[in-house]
Amino acid sequence: MPASPAPQHPATRRSAGMTQLLLLLSGSCMSVLGAVLIAPVLPRLTQAFADTPVVDVLVPLVLTAPALLIALTAPFAGIAVDKIDRKRLLIAAMLAYAVFGTAPLYLDSLGAILASRVLVGLCEGAIMTCCTTLIGDYWSGARRARYLALQTLVATLSATAFLALGGALGASSWRTPFWLYAVAAPLAIPMLAKLWQPGAPTVHQRLPKLPWRELATPCLVTVFGGVVFYALIVELPYVLTEVGVTSTGAIGLVSVLMSLGTAGGALAFGPLAGKTPRLLLPVEFGLSATGFLLVFAAASPALITVGAVLTGFGTGMLLPTLVTWAVKRLAFEQRGRGTGLWTSTLFLGEFASPLAISAMGTATGGTRSALAVLGAVTAVVAVLTAIAVRRTEQPRHVFDPA
């Protein structure tokens, strides 16, 4: 997909192209790397620290702590992005990510490893906010929407690749996959050379207020969207086990097919980027709801796979719709904070997803029953978005300095 030129800043006369797009998409993969790379080695990590108290609680936190930290800190990263400098914060976060990400290679206590993962989450929140904000800065309109959809597509495909790579590297030692976090350091070098701060920093200026009323609805919907997006990523292996699928290879294959469905949804969003959330959200939530209900009702692995792919396709369209809806009305001086707030709400939903499924499963009798409840609620949300979202969602005319 060729990267078309962005609007030019009168002082710099720079326009963003394929190089800038590839760098920002690569940076966006860092949060995916943090989320999935070490999942295959968690059992070996548990064995390595078997003498540590509450090891069964601490080891899963090694995987999920970064997502919680992104949810908690992305709004503050957004303030720094608007107040200081997008580029400098991105470079600093990438270098720190490489340091903290590789720390478990030499740390000898589970508590210290967990602390390093918390710091990785801080870096991921800054990286994700900076990369998404710069995509919003460098491009506008339908082109911006397409590249935000491409961000979802690349993140989805990279998640599949990182899971496989983590499993392969972890065959020798649970520490080996942590070497991959070092990739952020050399990636920071072309970022330093090829990216630029689109406008003057506003360190000594008062930032304009965020349009809270306009951001409230997209962010609230995004919290629920995060729950929907993450539900089957976590719960699908348990559902397949219930119907007799015990092979890790078969479970992995179904997960890959669902990921490809998500990638297909992100691709499908491109031609629809000019449509309003009022038109897209009911379709996307409707597809996801149908997939959940099919997973609940199906008795065969094949039909469960169809339901998972359908849900993946819906969420693949959903994420770029939500981020475009949230940021398109923001002026340059507001975009970092708005993007940080949106990022926070997405990861808050993702973190809450397994907790919500677990609570519903306890109340209704199991994981599949919980997914049925989630499917019904998602169908209701599809109807509500068709009714409640404003009929027109045209962006304000603001100057996007690049």
**257 and 366 assigned to the same domain:** yes
User: 257 lies in a domain?
Assistant: yes
The least confident of 50-64, 199-213, 249-263, 356-370 is 199-213
Q: Count Cα atoms within 13 angstroms, Cβ side, for 296.
A: 21
The Cα–Cα gap between 349 and 353 comes to: 6
**185 and 241 assigned to the same domain:** no
- DSSP-derived letter for residue 272 is G
Neighbours of 32 (CB within 10 A): 21
The predicted pLDDT at position 24 comes to 95
**175 and 226 assigned to the same domain:** no
**226 and 332 assigned to the same domain:** yes
Kindly compute the dihedral angle of the four CA atoms of residues 26, 141, 314, 228, in this order, to the nearest 10 degrees. Answer: 70
Single out the residue in 149, 165, 194 at which a domain terminates.
194
| Mean pLDDT value of segment 369-389 | 92
Q: Count Cα atoms within 13 angstroms, Cβ side, for 285.
A: 25
Residue 47 pLDDT class (50, 70, 90 cuts): confident
Tell me the CA end-to-end span of the chain in Å, nearest whole number. Answer: 20
Q: pLDDT at residue 3 above 70? A: no
User: 106 lies in a domain?
Assistant: yes
> Where is mean pLDDT largest: 90-99, 199-208, 224-233, 333-342?
90-99
- Name the region of 269 (left: φ>0; alpha: ψ -120 to 50; beta: rest): alpha
**237 and 331 assigned to the same domain:** yes
The Cα–Cα gap between 335 and 344 comes to: 14
**168 and 59 assigned to the same domain:** yes
Residue 391 pLDDT class (50, 70, 90 cuts): low
* Higher pLDDT among residues 78 and 141, named by residue: 78
User: 71 lies in a domain?
Assistant: yes
Task: Give the position of tokens 């539900």.
Answer: 231
Residue 182 pLDDT class (50, 70, 90 cuts): very high
Task: Give the position of tokens 């919500």.
Answer: 356
- DSSP string over 65-109: HHHHHHHHHHHHHHHHHHHT-HHHHHHHHHHHHHHHHTGGGT--S
The Cα–Cα gap between 315 and 300 comes to: 23
Question: For residue 157, with 0-12 CB atoms within 10 Å meaning exposed, 13-18 middle and 19 or more buried, which class applies?
Answer: middle
User: 8 lies in a domain?
Assistant: no
Which amino acid, residue 96? A
Percentage of residues in the chain having pLDDT higher than 90: 34
Which amino acid, residue 222? T
- DSSP-derived letter for residue 29 is H
Q: Is 1 helix (H, G, I), strand (E, B) or coil?
A: coil
| Burial letters 176-200, b for 16+ CB under 10 A, else e | ebbebbebbbebbeebeeebbbbbe
User: 171 lies in a domain?
Assistant: yes
**163 and 311 assigned to the same domain:** no
User: 143 lies in a domain?
Assistant: yes
Q: What is the pLDDT of residues 261-320, one digit of tens each?
A: 988 998 888 788 778 888 999 999 999 999 999 999 988 999 999 999 999 999 999 998
**347 and 380 assigned to the same domain:** yes
**70 and 175 assigned to the same domain:** yes
The predicted pLDDT at position 95 comes to 97
Report which of 84, 81, 91, 82 is spatially closest to residue 27, judged by C-alpha positions.
Answer: 91
Q: pLDDT at residue 375 above 50? A: yes
Which range marks the domain in which residue 187 is found?
Answer: 18-194
Q: What is the pLDDT of residues 77-126, one digit of tens each?
A: 888 888 888 899 999 999 999 999 999 999 989 999 999 999 999 999 89
The Cα–Cα gap between 56 and 304 comes to: 29
The predicted pLDDT at position 398 comes to 38
Q: What is the pLDDT of residues 127-139, one digit of tens each?
A: 988 998 899 889 8
**142 and 235 assigned to the same domain:** no
Q: pLDDT at residue 201 above 80? A: no
CATH number at residue 225: 1.20.1250.20
Number of domains in the chain: 2
**236 and 333 assigned to the same domain:** yes
User: 206 lies in a domain?
Assistant: no
Single out the residue in 166, 194, 222 at which a domain terminates.
194
Single out the residue in 194, 222, 255 at which a domain terminates.
194
**139 and 31 assigned to the same domain:** yes
Question: For residue 111, with 0-12 CB atoms within 10 Å meaning exposed, 13-18 middle and 19 or more buried, which class applies?
Answer: exposed
User: 370 lies in a domain?
Assistant: yes
User: Does this model's pTM top 0.85?
Assistant: no
List CB contacts of 109: < 8 A, sequence separation 6 or more: 49, 52
